[in-house]
Structure 1
């Protein structure tokens, strides 16, 4: 996993969009935004005790696998456009990259975009209420495990969606985290 502040370019979203000079973002900074990360061995995901421990601790009871690739995902181009619309969810979004690469973009407390590059073995959780988007990189391929607490919910609420309780809770948590850092 690698993360950085994005440039302002509107070129192909599959490009890295790193600023010049690059402005990296640490896992600690992501954690302050409520974004958590683990590095696992994707080659043994079916029997990995570390993955099972995370699932048990976090209550991730549902799992499925999706392959995002032009010839595997129906309406590939339309789906990518939908995934790249800025949105939030009312539940955490949990993704484990089993193969390939992809990007999640999240907003920081100052509304700047942070790009998170994920590759095989990266597991990430985005908190409910965080504005984010997803896109492929130039390889146009990723295979990912989707994890949920309880029954899966696939609803994305495009921005603006500030009226939802999940967003209010998230913004409140961001404020508390910022107060703790400055104290």
Structure 2
């Protein structure tokens, strides 16, 4: 089973619903790659000792790792955090997330500024390139456990849209 992604409708319904268009407009892994979004499927049951994960971390230089559990009983300031994650933003570093349990959505903007929703479940590892506008939400199961990976020290700084004064954003928009 590979990753499922689709163009989103513009309804204001609960952000945790799928928001598929009717008819659905799927987005392929190749289309995601053109945006700089990369995907691996791993065995999350063995994440602590997984040689495939180890290999990816070595190749990509993901030296730092931590784990976040997003659930109302586990995450302090759960509601505020969810709101914050769902604010459209970008980072000056790649964002790497590996879903160890549960489900979640990453929404990213395509080159025409349309939202693509990426459905993530256990075993999905995804990298979003620096400078891409994105947001994150749980689905209706309201639970996920994710590994966050970084090159070097973790950088938590998010720049909410509009963040057009960054070189990285101009560079992306110039079609590179």
Classify the TM-score, shorter chain: over 0.9
Aligned residues: 174
Equivalent position of 1:143 in the other structure: 145
Unpaired runs of 5+ residues, structure 1, are 177-183
Structure 1: 4+ residue segments shifted above 2 A: 168-172
Question: What TM-score results when the alignment is normalised by the length of structure 2?
Answer: 0.97
List per-residue Cα deviations over 1:41-78 (Å, max 9, x = no partner): 00010111100110000000000000000000011111
* Larger relative helix fraction: 1
Shift of 1:171: 2.5
Deviation string 1:124-173 (CA, Å, 9 cap, x unpaired) is 0000000000000000000000000000000110000011122223333x
Which position in structure 2 is the counterpart of 1:127?
Answer: 129
Q: How does 1:26-65 map to 2 (within 5 A)?
A: 26-65=28-67
Q: How big is each residue's C-alpha offset from its partner over 1:91-146, in whole Å with a ceiling of 9 and x where there is no partner? A: 00000000000000000000100000000000000000000000000000000000
> CA–CA distance in 1 between the matches of 2:4 and 2:139?
13
Match of 2:78 among 76, 79, 84: 76
Long gaps (5+) in structure 2:
none
What CA RMSD, in Å, does the superposition of the two structures yield over aligned residues? 0.7
Give 3-state SS (helix, strand or coil) of 1:139's partner.
coil
TM-score after normalising by structure 1 = 0.93
